[in-house]
Amino acid sequence: MTLPATPSFRLDGRRALVTGAGRGIGLAAAAALAEAGAAVTLVARSAGEVEAAATSMPDADWAVLDVSDLEAVAAFFAERSAYSILVNNAGTNRPKPLWEVTPDDYDAVLDLNLRAAFFVAQAAAKAMLRDAVQGSLIHMGSQMGHVGGPNRSLYCASKWGLEGMSKAFALDLAPRGIRSNTIASTFIETPLTRPFFEDAAFKASVLAKIKLGRLGRVEDLMGAVLFLASDASGLMTGTSLVVDGGWTAE
């Protein structure tokens, strides 16, 4: 009897790009891909952290790229061979009640979380089409792209937008063998989020919603990134992998 073989999680021979890769979730995503054999390019707005991270990984390089600079994004992808994996990770947040949100807040959050994510993915996809490369676009969404949250009007708007964007990308790109999915995580403790958890009341409110009873760690997302990047998820596109400890189950 011949048993079916599990599709490989290995990424040998594939090239991957991770944005916002200097720390936190982006760094963990890059490490997961590198461990699985991908040649990873780490990008961020400044050199220090991504340079140090890239030297710690096999077959990795780095580049300075401000993903909100659309001309720089277009030039970056035009100058390089296509990547078969994109982790669209760069993002920000300005939590406050909706009545305190300013146009500057709106522009800061939506421009990075949605506008820049759109055009980075577009540029990556155009390069894949140009070079006839199949692969996977992975967008770092949030549980807040599936539910609402107090003081999260801008963040929710950007992450719900990312979900719709990814579904439409999936439909456009499926005939070319390019998949598009999101990872929707709960609160992950990173250098960006750690200061918020110094507020004991806020931390308690978060833990009350995470049914597994703890904050997320970047390691909790590494398997999800690897899964969506690899052949193991070969029939998944236009959907969201929710890693939220049960937050959205209630």
pLDDT of residue 248: 97
Taking alpha carbons only, the member of 73, 193, 169, 179 closest to residue 123 is 73
Domain boundaries, the chain: 15-188+217-243
* Helix 153-173 / helix 117-130 crossing angle, nearest 10 deg: 10
**3-state DSSP assignment of residue 157:** helix
> What integer pLDDT is reported at residue 191 of this predicted model?
81
Distance of CA 230 to the CA centre of its chain: 15
Alpha-carbon distance of 175 to 137, in angstroms, equals 14
The confidence score (pLDDT) of residue 168 equals: 98
Q: Is the pTM of this model over 0.85?
A: yes
Q: Indicate which residue of 76, 155, 160, 227 is catalytic.
A: 155
Consecutive sets of 10 residues in the chain, 250 residues long: mean pLDDT of each? 96 98 96 98 94 94 97 97 97 95 98 98 98 98 97 97 98 98 96 88 96 97 98 98 97
The reply to whether 155 belongs to the active site is yes
For the chain, the helix, strand and coil percentages under 3-state DSSP, each to the nearest 5:
50, 15, 35
CATH superfamily to which 15-188+217-243 belongs: NAD(P)-binding Rossmann-like Domain (3.40.50.720)
- pLDDT score of 196: 87
User: What is the structure's pLDDT at 192?
Assistant: 78
d(CA 140, CA 162): 9
